[in-house]
């Protein structure tokens, strides 16, 4: 995948003149879709494979794998080598959506514009499809990443473990569930989102960069970038839950209010929430400026803007 697609008559971002973000995003999304489509093979029985494919290939923005590929390119790596890890990240994300939608969690019927996994395959199969996607993600890295040195893959496995487990997704989800129906302050809300949403986004950029053998200074800048976009992503998610329709979102709108969840709009109001998201994106982008020689960081800078401008 090439990093910069130039065109004179396509939209471009202000960060790198001539960089056509729309074309970049579409090209990256298509290559991720192809890799996801080819990623499931040996799963048996067929019913398990079908339930895994149903959610993995249900669309979605594919933001996490694209962040991984873009970070690999920024660090001077070949993004083709990062594709198995990019697929692994989407598998972990998809697992978390399947489990999040279960009756014992958010109890939702609609995801990515389709009935949720448990509505189609039953609760037990949905749990198992999620489990199989999570473990398959680690297989993608450990056994299906040709050309990447074992030492780098070990670091990637470490990052994915931290993002998926108690220090990341699971820890954030537990605190989120415990806080339902309670008064939650801004610090607790930030804790929930940095773990539930931010940890996986952090591992997207870190794993991409680790595969390229990035130096510590760039990894540190990417941690700051990920913190900013992770929180901004969740603030926008909270705003869209109030302002967008289920049809556009592809998931049930207005869920936060129904579940009596504390959200950024509830604590700060819509206007201040949006301002906070914009400020976080500005911080995220500033962290990458020292590494933007020749517009190399243009995709990650544009992805940060995309997070606050998205409508779904």
Binding site for ligand GRG (CB under 6 A): 60-61, 63, 96-97, 99-100, 105, 112, 134, 164, 169-170, 173, 196-197, 237
Residues, the chain, total? 312
Please report, for residues 43, 54, 105, the alpha-carbon distance to residue 130 in angstroms, rounded to integers and kept in the order given. 13, 11, 14
Closer to ligand GRG by CB, 74 or 127: give it: 127
Closer to ligand GRG by CB, 85 or 197: give it: 197
Closer to ligand GRG by CB, 16 or 236: give it: 236
> What is the smallest separation between the CB atom of 62 and ligand GRG, expressed in angstroms?
7
Query: And the tokens for 300?
Result: 């990650």
> What is the smallest separation between the CB atom of 151 and ligand GRG, expressed in angstroms?
25
Closer to ligand GRG by CB, 4 or 170: give it: 170
> What is the smallest separation between the CB atom of 44 and ligand GRG, expressed in angstroms?
22
> What is the smallest separation between the CB atom of 93 and ligand GRG, expressed in angstroms?
6
Evaluate whether 56 touches 133 at the Cβ level (below 8 Å): yes
3-state secondary structure 154-217: HHHHHHHHHHHCCCCHHHHHHHHHHHCCCCCCHHHHHHHHHHHHHHHHHHHHHHHHHHCCCCHH
Closer to ligand GRG by CB, 164 or 263: give it: 164
> What is the smallest separation between the CB atom of 203 and ligand GRG, expressed in angstroms?
13
> What is the smallest separation between the CB atom of 169 and ligand GRG, expressed in angstroms?
4
> What is the smallest separation between the CB atom of 192 and ligand GRG, expressed in angstroms?
9
Closer to ligand GRG by CB, 66 or 298: give it: 66
- In this chain, which residue has its C-beta nearest to ligand GRG? 60
Angstrom distance (rounded) from CA 33 to CA 17: 28
Closer to ligand GRG by CB, 164 or 308: give it: 164
């Amino acid at each position: 995948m090439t990093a910069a697609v130039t065109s004179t008559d396509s939209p471009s971002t202000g960060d790198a003149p001539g960089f056509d973000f729309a074309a970049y995003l579409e090209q990256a999304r298509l290559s991720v879709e192809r890799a996801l489509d080819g990623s499931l093979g040996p799963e048996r029985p067929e019913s398990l494979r079908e339930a895994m494919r149903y959610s993995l290939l249900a669309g979605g923005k594919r933001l996490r794998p694209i962040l991984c590929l873009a970070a690999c390119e920024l660090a001077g790596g070949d993004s083709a080598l990062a594709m198995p890890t990019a697929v692994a990240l989407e598998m972990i994300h998809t697992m978390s959506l399947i489990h999040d939608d279960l009756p014992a969690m958010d109890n939702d019927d609609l995801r990515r514009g389709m009935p949720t996994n448990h509505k189609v395959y039953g609760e037990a199969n949905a749990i198992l499809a999620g489990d199989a996607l999570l473990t398959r993600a680690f297989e993608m890295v450990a056994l299906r990443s040709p050309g990447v040195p074992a030492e780098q893959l070990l670091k990637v496995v470490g990052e994915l473990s931290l993002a998926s487990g108690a220090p990341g997704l699971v820890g954030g989800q537990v605190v989120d569930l415990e806080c339902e129906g309670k008064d939650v302050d801004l610090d607790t809300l930030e804790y929930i989102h940095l773990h539930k949403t931010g940890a996986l986004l952090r591992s997207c950029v870190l794993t991409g960069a680790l595969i390229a053998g990035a130096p510590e200074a760039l990894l540190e800048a990417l941690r700051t970038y990920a913190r900013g976009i992770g929180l901004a992503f969740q603030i926008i998610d909270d705003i869209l839950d109030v302002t967008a329709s289920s049809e556009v979102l592809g998931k049930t709108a207005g869920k936060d209010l129904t579940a009596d969840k504390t959200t950024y709009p509830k604590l700060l109001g819509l206007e201040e929430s949006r301002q906070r998201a914009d400020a976080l994106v500005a911080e995220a982008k500033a962290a990458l400026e020292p590494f933007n020689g020749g517009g190399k960081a243009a995709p990650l800078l544009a992805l940060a803007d995309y997070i606050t401008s998205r409508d779904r």
